[in-house]
Structure 1
Amino acid sequence: MGSLDAKPAETQEPDINDQAQLWNIIYGFGGSLVLRCAVEIGIADIIKNNNGSITLAQLASKLSIPNVNSDHLYRILRFLVHMNILEHEICNGGVDKVYSLKPIGTLLLRDAERSMAPIILGLTHKDFMVPWHFMKEGLASEGTTAFEIGMGMPIWKFLEGHPDQSQLFNEEMAGETRLLTKTLFEDCRDIFQGLDSLVDVGGGNGTTIMAIYETFPHIKCTLYDLPHVIANSRDHPNVQKVSGDMFKCVPTAQAILLKLILHDWTDEECVHILKKCKEAIPKETGKVIIVDVVLDEESTHELTKTRLLLDIDMMVSTGGRERTLDDWDNLLKRAGFRSHNIRPIRAIQSLIEAFP
């Protein structure tokens, strides 16, 4: 038996690797904002349009910035190389470095099918970063988000009154959709093939529902969102647009799609939304299709950290959360669904089918 007077083992002192890890975390915002700068000035697009490679001088000459400071630009490029966004070769006898995009760098292209440029611009916008500075205050404010404390109003009211930020937010959501849609259709094609009608609830500018119609033209498709969102959404001759409030009612269809919606809301609000969706579908053949994160807190998957950060983002911005397998089971039972299936896909999110 051990002695009560035994001394605890010596605590190992943090070493330089521990310091390096903390420095990288502390300056994590810096990497995000360097990426933002790269997207804003179009570095990836300029390289692509210059036959895939470019020198510092050529890049400086093509920027829409007067009197470019070449030293500043070089230091940004150097960091992008360090982040594995760019690579470079030494040319002209060591005089010039020629920069090109690494595969990850193509995600910064504005016109790429899976461009992450709108996501970068949305998440790093100064208005959307302010609430993160009020995380501490949010801990002590029951029912009040850090966003509301920092910006003076809930995020949805803010977006309604700020058209430019609302457009940026919707472009970010559309960017996430484009990143997800191809994978969703490839991995879960069977889920959509048998449907005759579908309503995309909270569908934003219509990117998702229009992609669904183009892939499955037999489905009668409806975009449903708040009036100010619908007013700024894209038009499509075969997609009906309906404005309304999902907390009050949902248009009827064989299937309801909730893509990246429920993580914005509390459990009680989600149960309310799900019940409204359940009322809108036929009892025997209907279903609600949910695309959202299924969180595994102990997973070593490369996306686990991102999913956990998304959960913090929801806490700070909307008062919602990312949910575990047990959380989803509980939520859907409370909403009265008799069964559900959860299918992992090659994305941050999973697909959940809930049956009335």
Structure 2
Amino acid sequence: MTKTAPEKTGQAEDEIRKPEPAPDQTVLRVENLKVRFPVERGLLKAVNGVSFQVSKGKTLGIVGESGCGKSITGKAILGIQPKKTKVSGSVWLGDTDLLKLKPDGREIRAIRGSKIAMIFQEPMAAFSPLYTVGNQIMESILLHRTRNKREALELTIDMLRRVGIANPEKRFYQYPHEFSGGMMQRAMIAMALSCDPEVLIADEPTTALDVTIQAQVLALMKELQQQFGMAILFITHDLGIVAEMCDEVAVMYLGKVVEQAPVREIYRNPKHPYTQGLLRSIPSLDRTVERLESIEGTVPVPLNMPPMCGFYERCSQRIPGVCNVQNPEAVQLSDRHTASCFLYGPEASGGEERRNEHVVNA
């Protein structure tokens, strides 16, 4: 449930909810997605109630440290998590709830790689060593796009060329072990884009690439997005790429979206202490410092956690007696800006006094 900032109290809940885009513009809608991994000590809550939507021709960036649940969210959308994983919520592609489909059924298999494609973070593990790279890309085209082998061959070679692989006619017949890490990353991108998907989930798609090829790949994704109206879910830790690629940003921490807003709003007016910490850690030409700021501590393990803000131990603005005894809910700060933080909810009243008292006592 979304709360309002203190200045908006008194409005009806229906009046303060974030407005939904037109139904024909929303391609992917995720509602209250939860992913649980059964372990010996209980349930590990990797994703804990994530909600967002991506519109046609738009890019939503999901950012956060390693271990925040970004990649698991992407895999849960496609239903490719381990079998014993417990997944709940809704993932709507148009009027189809993907979580209601059988993970190995014909319906979801027709969607994977065609309507929704994913660029995986580890391309060396995404390709089979037994078949050539070209054949594996062409297999997807034959399955989802055309039955003509000659046409599929031409499309594969053209896509390899477009992602910056030199001599694609020769590379088509080579095996994964003959490719470098960067070339495998580009081949993975070629496979994902080969069937013109409606939604592209890009999980750190440029990690293994040098800056020149990185720029080419990002330009290619933008070009195809403009050409086909493709929606992109861009998972990354690189805030520089987020500023370049994304229209909206969802900041994840400990399996939850702690702040979401248009990209310019996030950079100009970050509200959540975690978002502020991430932005302070970026090098800038406008400021000269000997050492960049960092967020102390690490992301806690989401296992048997008490009701409290997951960022409490690392937060410099925490409110003792509030942040450590209950979970914060999303607060509507403006039309498209939300933050899950007690600094902006009703609990903020008197919080400054308690926080100052805590500092004095410390």
Give the shorter-chain TM-score range.
Answer: under 0.3
| Greater C-alpha radius of gyration | 1
Task: Tell me: higher relative CO, structure 1 or 2? Use CA pairs within 8 A at least 6 residues apart.
Answer: 2
User: In proportion to residue count, which structure has more helix?
Assistant: 1
TM-score (norm 1): 0.26
